[in-house]
Structure 1
Amino acid sequence: MTFSSVKTIAFVGGTGTTGAFFIDEFQKSGQEFKVTLITRKESAEAATAKYADIPQFTVRGVDYSDSADLVKALAGHDLVLSLIGGVGLGTEQLALVNAASTAGVKYFVPSEFGSDITYPDNRGLPIFSPKHAVRQAVENSGLTYIYVVTGFFADFFLNPFYNWDLEKSSVVVPGDGSAKASFILRTDVAKYTIGVLKHAEEFSNKTVRVTGGLLSFNDWVEKVEKASGKKFAVTDQPIEEIDAKIDADVKATGGWTTLGDQLRSVIGKGNGRIDLGENELDNDKFPDITPESIDEYILSLFD
């Protein structure tokens, strides 16, 4: 692969738990990149103190409602890498897209990861609507985009958001629990993403698909039972029941109280794989990266 001309990166949303994995990988890359951590102004002082010992890092506080301030913060950077989540996934990223375009940034890597939002059954889900809006804005802006799609975060899966209750050894699975989905540990999300940045020209205006493995809910139950030594109470929830709940919530709230159910529906319908149809994985383009074992991660939870 060709080496990237990207040298300066504006890293947005990098001070959270997922961002920590990226910061570790940026440190391992040495002086290859100069990274500006973009934070809210009220968080800048604490972030500056926290990352003071990393020579290739600087911190810049911004006000997302101040477009001129955002443009100044992004000016001089080759690429914007976003890990923004939650309520900022749409509004703050859209502000970043506009500012990056005005500032003359070349590349924009939005906060994608996760599921493939382009599959027909996934496209209309409210949980993905901010990502669609950001994609449209990026593609209309003239910025060069790179979408990194990875599958579900394995180290964020065993929690109530997906209807797991580890304390009570129970789980409610979508359908019969047999549909496979793509999973990856966040440390590997960081490794692959920074691998992409090192070869940005190669992936210009493309979707990169990398993951750690395929697992169904039933596979997870089996592995968790083996690791914990406990038998789990498994309840099968019909997909139709989940979708009816989502439909009712869409009418009532726009779909924002059933986000976990929406992702469980994606998995239950088999749309949690990122390699469906003609979509091939790109793991082999990164021969120096071997995904960490999800089995070993599960075992580590119950040591």
Structure 2
Amino acid sequence: MSEIKSVAVAGASGTLGPHVLKALIDANFQVTVLTRAAKPGAYDTSVKVVEVDYTSVDSLTAALKGIDALVSAVGHGATESQTILIDASVAAGVKRFIPSEYGSVSTNSKLETFPIYAPMFKIKHYLQEKAKAGKLTWTVLACGGFLEFLFGQPFLLDFANHKANLFDEGDNRMTSTSLPNVGKAIASILKNAKATENKIVRISEVIVTQNGLLKIAEEVRPDIKWEISKVPTSAILKQGLDGVAAGDFSMPTVMKILTGTVAAGDTYGAAYDETDNELLGIKEFSEEDLKKLVAEKLA
């Protein structure tokens, strides 16, 4: 594959998008943002901004002419509509497509028919079909839970209220990576196009357990008394699946399915013992890094 120089980004204004943009700019790619409505001054002056109709293959194809790679960072609700982006990429001659997945357990075949995950598998299969036909190449980036979410929300530990609702027994292992490092990994995928062609790559900045974090928290602040409770991940997952089966597709129900799978640890492969960290330039947390992060949350 020839060198990738120009990259388009879909979903640049979302949670991950700004970090992807920064990493691509820092890596000296020519960056184009695809947007429904351009807002003056919304992006760095080096970025080209093109208004598109995300429902139109023709509109997207015109915007993607001359683009080497497309990085999708669209929200979960737009996962299945990425087929339109893929079709436009093929028509425009885009070489590499990185779909919006960036998951924790989303590559585990056990979950292929589950709500939330089924659309992601649909996109992976669609990309594989296009790649088999020689139309384009793809890379899926599995990064675990976003560090900012796992530590910024009362998910693993409720740092603000000193509560720990342990999933199962609290020893389930989960990979986590920060948003800036996810962006960095995406840029590195495109810099290492041949080595990352048509495959799932994995990064892991840190593997955590609730009990491990709780131990650090007690070492850092022995004066704090933690309120401990437990909940089976299988029960959380069942609640979510039952809710969807009853026609409830609300965010709380979706989060139960997500929590019941991601927080189940090794049951669905939430911790990555083998990674592509070295290839993609991702540095793993040291014990001191993790202790510092916990201390900041308890300050």
**Considering the TM-score relative to the shorter chain, is it more than 0.5?**
yes
Residue of structure 1 in register with 2:124 after alignment: 135
Q: Contact 1:113 / 1:151 at 8 angstroms: preserved in 2?
A: yes
TM-score by length of 2: 0.85
Question: Which residue of 1 is the match for residue 228 of structure 2?
Answer: 234
Are the counterparts in 2 of residues 149 and 274 from structure 1 also a CA contact under 8 Å? no
Give the aligned partner of residue 115 of structure 1.
104
Q: Deviations over 1:45-80 (max 9, x none)?
A: 24xx13243x2x111121112221111111210110
Q: 1:151 offset after TM fit, Å?
A: 1.0
Q: Distance in 2 between matches of 1:71 and 1:161?
A: 42
DSSP-derived class of the 1:157 partner: helix
| Partner residue in 2 for 1:61 | 51
Q: How do residues 174-213 of structure 1 correspond to structure 2 at under 5 angstroms?
A: 174-213=167-206
Q: Which has the higher helix share?
A: 1
Sequence identity of aligned pairs in percent? 25
Question: 2:9 maps to what in 1?
Answer: 11
Call closer, same or farther: CA 1:85–1:272 in 2, change over 3 Å: farther
Work out whether residues 4 and 199 of structure 1, in 8 Å CA contact, stay in contact via their aligned partners in 2. no
Candidates 292, 297, 303, aligned match of 2:293: 297
Distance 1:225 1:255 in 2: 38
Structure 1 CA distance for aligned equivalents of residues 115 and 87 of structure 2: 23
Counterpart residue number, 1:152: 145
Is 1:50 the counterpart of 2:42 in the alignment?
yes
Give the letter for the 2:128 counterpart: E
Kept in 1: contact 2:159–2:298 (CA 8 A) = no
Partner secondary structure for residue 22 of structure 1? helix
**Structure 2, unaligned stretches of length 5 or more?**
none
Distance 1:131 1:169, change over 3 A: same
Match of 2:256 in 1: 261
Match 2:272 to one of 275, 290, 294: 275
Deviates more, 1:120-129 or 1:103-112: 120-129
TM-score with structure 1 setting the length: 0.84
SS in 2 for 1:203: coil
> What is the RMSD of the two structures over their aligned residues, measured on CA atoms?
2.5
Q: 2:35 aligns to what?
A: 39
Counterpart-to-counterpart distance in 1, 2:93 and 2:297: 45
- Say if 1:174 and 1:36 are closer, same or farther in 2 by CA, change over 3 A: same
Contact 1:188/1:291 (8 A) holds in 2: no
Query: For 1:244 and 1:116, how far apart are their aligned partners in 2?
Result: 17
Q: Once the 2 structures are TM-superposed, how far is the Cα of residue 198 of structure 1 from its aligned partner?
A: 0.5
**For residues 36 and 224 of structure 1, do their structure 2 counterparts lie closer, same or farther at Cα, with a shift above 3 Å needed?**
farther
Q: Matched residues in 1 for 2:246 and 2:70: separation?
A: 36
> For the structure 1 residues 163 and 284, does the alpha-carbon distance in structure 2 shift closer, same or farther, using more than 3 Å as the test?
closer
The 1-side partners of 2:10 and 2:220 are apart by: 36
Q: How many residues are paired up?
A: 288
